[in-house]
Each structure stands twice: as structure tokens, then as C-alpha cells.
Amino acid sequence: MHTLIRHRRWLVPVLTALVVLAVAAPALADDPDPVAMVNDTNTALNIMWMLIGGFLVFFMQAGFALVETGFTRAKNVAHTMMMNMMVFCIGAVGYFICGFAFQFGAVNFTWPEINGLSAWAHSPVTLGAWVDAAGNALLSTPLIAFGQHGILGGSGFFLAGLGGSTGILAFFLFQMVFMDTAATIPTGSMAERLKFTGFVLMSLWVAMVIYPLVGNWVWGGGWLQNLGRTMGLGNGAVDFAGSGVVHSIGGSVALAGAMVIGPRIGRFNKDGTANPIPGHNIALGVLGTIILFFGWFGFNPASSLGFVGGFGALATNAAINTLLAGAFGGVAAMTYMWVVSSTKKPDPGMSVNGILAGLVAITAPCAFVDASAAAIIGIIAGVLVCLASVWLEKAKIDDPVGAVPVHFANGLWGVIAVGLFANGNPNSAGWNGVASSVTGLFYGGGFGQLGAQLFEAVAIAVTVVGLSYVFFLGVKAIGHLRSDVEHELQGLDLPEMGSIGYPKDFEPSTEAVREALKGAKAGATVPAAGD
């Protein structure tokens, strides 16, 4: 119960008048200019929207935990759940230390005029002015750059000096949970055999290094975001909520990790055929999927970073398209498995992945495409995830929960889809410092935007898979990547975590029971503490 005092109020003698005044007081006291007042309100509304969205994205952590645990074996439950819970904690620490600074240290920096395009800063104006008490711009150090091509930020470590800016704090929270979504994806592809020390190192790798680096290129003012200004490719790489930044990065780390760590024991036979290793609990897996879908309504719509005016239009577009692409993706994958594939059943596992694939694919284009395009993008995603799962198995890469088909393949598909389906939505005019609207090939935009999107897709895949492959080789070299064979066979829960997922009920000793019954007979129904 915590009320800011209204200083002018205490002189009023009558209680009734006093309370009635309370509402009007802030206006009288602070600023009677209604335009300034509305702007303050709008900033509050925008920040609130982004915070609520960030909370929903946080909750996706539960979805990932359940999908990964449900679709793996009972003997690794504690290990898989713990990875998905602790990746948030470890990731938050790493992102707080340096990840945010690497990714967004230059987000408020003003890029100079170039190619006839005016100067440009891309801090979100929806979130208020990002200045300190003295009026100096925050997060405005120039990027480390090759010529015009920025690649890494460098201010805002430990959030030092940023505590006075509500907009930046809220922005940090939102970006932190996005990073964490990327960091949690590889725990799926390496599940059931990743050492817990290796998991900790992987979490730090994503949170502190690879995600901030590549994420900077698309969202932090880096070279991909500026391809429109520097090379005339449409509006530069456009990735509304992160098909590329979040899902392709996470999926690329997942792919590199799965390749280096190798398949689970028994996954592939000597003759090259594969054995399915079903997960232990479809109920958890489906529950996790619904939670992920729910959280995606924060992920995509709140990436408008505001809700007043055109930002609300972008957010609502994003919400509708998210709903449709997820639904069509699920229906497409279910239908594909039921009608086309050899199983001829509406397979739960692939239906789940079809939904997630549709959601991943719509993440980049969600605010920029029509509802019908969202449906098409979702349908393609639903089929693509089925095909990619087969390709992955043929390549003898073992990915227990399908992280690569879902996040890597469909993340890339989503990035490319922007270049095809972006409809020139007027609310996207000026995106990435280019005055035109984001327009794809099918909507008369030519190949410029598609080119920028291909740049993003290739840059992410090559950079992240490549560097992460090297990283995991290093982890392997120091013996922290893969758990011992005996531990894998037994299940990682006891050797790695010290606890199993589903312990049998503890039974008290006969003596303890006799003792308890004796007490009960003597009239005391309980064995009192300390007796």
C-alpha cells in the first residue's frame, strides 16, 4: 500500500473535497498541458504493453521445459527440467553482465546521412527519451564496425547508469526473455546426453556471446539492419519478432550442438536405419505446446514495442497472424502425417511441431503480411517441419525434440517469407531508416527486400552454426560436452543432478511406524517435534 504523497493536498480542510481532488491533483501539480499529459500516458501504455508481452515470453520457459521433457525419456526428467529452468537464471546473469551491452550498446546511436537517406537512430521512441538526468543520450556508443558495417555494441554493462530510464529497463527485460528463448532451444537438440557443465557453458555462450553478436546485426543497429541504407536492399533485414534473431540463432546453436555431441546411444543402427525413441509423456508435451502458443501472443504482438497509433495496428496484425499461422501449421502437419506420410495417423508429436513451426515462421513477417499470407506461411511451415525431420534423420543427426526442424528450418523460412509476402503495410514505412514500406516480391517489391532477407538467413546460419560448432568442439575437448556412457544408459538424473524425476514414495521404517502407532494409541495422535 504505497501511495505517492500529494504535497499540495494537505492544506485542504474537508475530507470529501480532499478525496475528490485526488484525481485532478496530478494534473494540477505537474503539468496542465494536455498534449504533454497524453504523451506521458502514451509512453506508459506502450511500456506496459511491452512489459506484459515480456512476462508472457518469460512463461514460454515453462512451455519449452514441458515440450522437451515430455518428448524425452523418464530417466532424464530432472536433468531436462533443470536445464530449462536454469537456462533462464544463468542466461539472465550473463545477459545482465555483457549480453545486453554487446547487443544494444548502440541502439540509441544516430547513424549519419548516407546514400541520400537522412540520419537515423533506431531506439524506440515509443518508450520515452533514452537520456540520463543531464540530457545525454544513453546506449549511444558507436558500434565496432568494418566501414559502415557495425558488428558489436559496447555500452550498458551491468545496466550501469541506466537505472533512471524506465524505457531502457523495460526494454532490457523484453530483450532478456527473447535471448533466453534462443538459449533454451539447444537444450532440446542435445537433451538426454549433455553434461550439466556443458549446459552451463552453452547457456553462457548464447547469453553473452553469440546471441548478442548476431542479434546486434539485425536489431541493435548492425550491418544486416542497415542493408537498406548501405546497399539499397529494401528496408534492410526485417525481422519483426525474431524468426531469424531468436529462432534461427537458437536453432543454429542446436544444430551445431547436435552434430558435435552425436546421437544418443541406440538412436541409429549400424546399418544406418534409425530407431524412434519416443518421449515419456505426451500430456506434458502438448501442455507445453499450448503454453508456448500462449506465450507467443506476447512474443510477436508486443514486438511492436508500443501500442498507441500505428504500433497498435502492427501489434494486432501480429496477433491475428500468429493465431492463424500456428493453427494452419498444426492442421497442415497433422494432415500431412495422416494422409501423405507412411504412418497414416494424425501424429501428436508432429502436430505439436507443426504448430510450433507455423509460429516460428510467422514470427518475422507477422506484422507485415495479410491474414491469407499468414495462412499460407503456416501451411508451408507445417509441411516443412515434417520434411526437415526426415532430412535430419537421414543425415543421422539426433535431435530428440525436433528443435532443428522447428526453429532452424522454419526460422529461416520465416525470414525469407518477409521478402516474399510483405504487403507494403503503411505502418512499416520508415522501417530501419528507409522511407518506403516493407514490401516483398509477391506484392510488387521486387528482389530488394528478398535480398536483404536472404542476407540475414545466410549470415545467421553460417555464422552461428560455424562459430558454435567450434565452440562445442572446444567444450568437447575439455571433456564437458557429453555425459559418460554409463550415465546416459542409466539416465542422467541421478549422476548429474543427484535426484531422479519420479521417485517412489518413501516408506518409513517399521520401527518408526511402531513408534508412531504407539503414540497414537496413547492418545497423542502425532509424534511431536523434538520428542
Are 399 and 379 contacting, i.e. CB atoms less than 8 angstroms apart?
Answer: no
Phi and psi at residue 111, in whole multiples of 5°?
Answer: -75, 140
Q: Closest Cα to residue 64, out of 30, 91, 32, 95?
A: 91
Cα 323-181-211 angle, rounded to 5 deg: 125
Site for its own copies in 112-141 (CB under 8 A): 113, 118-126, 128-131, 135-137, 140
Candidates 146-154, 249-257, 320-328, 442-450; binding stretch for its own copies (CB under 8 A) = 320-328
Nearest to 361 by CA among 317, 329, 337: 329
Q: How far is the CB of 14 from its own copies (least distance, A)?
A: 10
Binding status of residue 73 toward its own copies by CB under 8 A: yes
Site string for its own copies, 361-390 (x = CB under 8 A): ------x--xxx--x---------------
User: Rounded CA gap, 507 and 267, in Å?
Assistant: 37
Phi, psi (deg, nearest 5) at residue 117:
-90, 140
Residues numbered 146 to 165 that lie near its own copies (CB under 8 A) are: 158-160, 163
Would you say the C-alpha torsion 303, 305, 308, 309 has a positive or negative sign?
A: negative
HEC-encoded secondary structure of 273-306: CECCCCCCCHHHHHHHHHHHHHHHHHHCHHHHCC
Find the binder of its own copies among 198, 212, 236, 433 (CB under 8 A): 433
Interacting residues with its own copies between 289 and 318 (CB under 8 A): 289-291, 293-294, 297-298, 301, 303-305, 307-313, 315-317
Report how many residues bind its own copies under the rule CB under 8 A: 224
Q: Which of residues 488-517 bind its own copies (CB under 8 A)?
A: 488-489, 491, 496-509, 511-513, 515-517
Q: What does the longest C-alpha to C-alpha distance in the chain come to? A: 94
Of 173-232, binders to its own copies (CB under 8 A) are 173, 176, 193, 196, 218-221, 225
Q: Which one of 286-294, 409-417, 444-452, 453-461 is the stretch in contact with its own copies (CB under 8 A)?
A: 286-294
Whole-number Å distance between alpha carbons of 268 and 58: 35
C-alpha cell at 172: 532490457
CB nearer its own copies, residue 16 or residue 147: 16
- Choosing from 390, 395, 458, 462, the residue that interacts with its own copies (CB under 8 A) is 395
Shortest approach of its own copies to residue 473 CB, angstroms? 11
Closest contact distance (angstroms) between CB of 388 and its own copies is 16
In 10 A of CB 467, how many CB atoms? 18
CA distance 481 to 479: 6
Options 106-114, 141-149, 440-448, 465-473: segment touching its own copies (CB under 8 A): 106-114
Q: Compute the least distance from the CB of residue 171 to its own copies, in Å.
A: 9
Selected range binding its own copies among 143-151, 395-403, 458-466, 467-475, rule: CB under 8 A: 395-403
By CB under 8 A, which span of 22-30, 226-234, 441-449, 466-474 interacts with its own copies? 22-30
- Measured between its terminal Cα atoms, the distance across the chain in Å is 43
Q: Residue 300 or residue 464: which is nearer to its own copies going by CB?
A: 300
The C-alpha atoms of residue 470 and residue 467 are separated, in whole angstroms, by 5
Per CB under 8 A, which of residues 249..268 are in contact with its own copies? 258-259, 261-266
> Which residue in 115, 343, 462, 470 binds its own copies (CB under 8 A)?
343
Residue 123's contacts (CB-CB under 8 Å, 6 or more residues apart) are: 107, 108, 130, 139
- Dihedral sign (CA 492, 493, 498, 504): negative
Min separation Cβ 235 and its own copies, Å: 10
Nearer to its own copies, 266 or 446 (CB): 266
Name the one range near its own copies by CB under 8 A: 68-76, 142-150, 246-254, 408-416: 68-76
Cβ neighbours of 120 (radius 10 Å):
18
Interacting residue with its own copies among 251, 330, 414, 451 (CB under 8 A): 330
Min dist. Cβ of residue 156 to its own copies (A): 11
* From candidates 187, 189, 230, 281, binder to its own copies by CB under 8 A: 281
* Binding string, residues 458-477; x marks residues near its own copies by CB under 8 A: ------------------x-
Rounded CA-CA distance 281/74 in Å is 8
Residue 25, all three cell numbers: 491533483
